[in-house]
Amino acid sequence: MKRIVVVDYGMGNLRSVAKAIEHVAPGRDVVVSADAAVIRGADRVVLPGQSAMPDCMAGLLASGLVDAVRAVMADRPFLGICLGLQMLFDRSEEGPTECLGAIPGRVVRFRDEAMTTPAGERLKVPHMGWSPVRQERPHALWRGIENGARFYFAHSYHPVPDDPAVTVGTADYPAPFTCAIARDNIFATQFHPEKSQRAGLALLANFVGWDGQPA
């Protein structure tokens, strides 16, 4: 049976991610694992993450799973969620922290001086709640999801890719920022699909059926 592995490195809402995938993939083998061999043997892999970037990278390094994660990231359908997206980049201002370097770019904090909307409303950091997501280009994981569908966010930092072409989704807070990226067999979201009701479950279902080929 094909296996979907949620990487357990001591951070992230692992069970809620696994349960959401189980909901859209009944009968599939969905496991949460900190075993490098299990991760390397997976057919597709999910890297979740929450808390702070220094803690997440420290946890991943301490778990001894960096090589296994990099190995599956190279050739299997791979989904990063929240800090699991941010860890794919070169470095983060939070810490600052060196990250996995799979996607060239950096992760920056929302600037306090840029948190005023055109209407004069002052937004707070972190960005928490529901926001519409613009699909910047087609991708298999957007299939059946309305452009502008709302997803759930909880973050103070966001990615800035060196190559704008990897951006497949943007949201506004209040300025536009990259909230979903894709390259080859990798797709990652700043928002939490497991907390995003119908649209989030649709994205996870698309991931379960995705062959890892660029759209």
Catalytic residues: 82, 192, 194
Cβ density class 83-104: b for 16+ within 10 Å, e for less: bbbbbbbebbebeebebbebbe
The token duo for 165 is: 């072409």
Name every residue whose Cβ is closer than 8 Å to that of residue 209 and which is 6 or more positions away in sequence: none
The token duo for 203 is: 């994205």
In Å, the largest CA–CA distance within the chain is 54
Segments in 32-112 forming alpha helices (H): 36-40, 53-63, 66-73, 83-86
Question: What stretch of H or E contains 19?
Answer: helix 14-24
